[in-house]
Amino acid sequence: MHSVFFRLTAAAVLGVLGLAPAAAQNALGVSTQVYRCGNEYLNDAALAQSRGCQLVEGGYITVVPGTRVHRPEARAPSRAAAPASGAAATPGATAQWPGRDNDARAILLDELKTAQERLAEQQRLYNNGEPDELGPETRNHQLYLDRINELRQGITRYSSDIAGLQREISRLPAQ
């Protein structure tokens, strides 16, 4: 009895001090051998041998708990299941955050206005495919062609930006 008390006391002191954790485990009679069975780790030798597990040799093993798996019924409906009219997927969602929808609408309308102004400026500079030649372009025709190409690409980009912004605005719930 005296030796059991001494072993437990020694193990507790070593464990609290963080000294020799393996020695503390051995003093408590805890197995330091770890077995791997696929993705599962065991420290019970009899169970590990019955399952045909392999002994893991080396340092300590750190176990990190995984993330929680959500059940399908708890998951929100997918984008494909949402109504096409732009209404919210869950009833009352717009009632919960009316300010958020108003802010989003204001931001999108501001971006739409900016994109429309940029498109108008690009179209004005493009001048139906015949923009005015600038200084160095009079001597180097390739510079002129490059600028025409850049203007065309800008018009295409701003047109697609405007279409995307209008699409996003139409998805917002009505005010």
- Measured between alpha carbons, how far apart are the two ends of the chain, in Å? 81
What proportion of the chain, given as a percentage, has pLDDT over 70?
A: 67
How much is the pTM?
0.44
Q: Which 3 state secondary structure label does DSSP give 52?
A: coil
pLDDT tens for residues 28-51?
A: 555 578 888 888 888 888 998 998
Name the residue among 34, 59, 29, 55 with its Cα closest to residue 44: 34
pLDDT tens for residues 115-140?
A: 999 999 999 999 888 888 888 888 88
Domain extents in the chain: 2-56, 85-171
Exposed e or buried b for every residue in 24-39, given b needs 16+ CB within 10 A?
A: bbebeeeeeebbeeee
pLDDT tens for residues 57-72?
A: 876 777 777 788 777 6
Classify strands 34-37 and 40-42 as parallel, antiparallel or unpaired: antiparallel
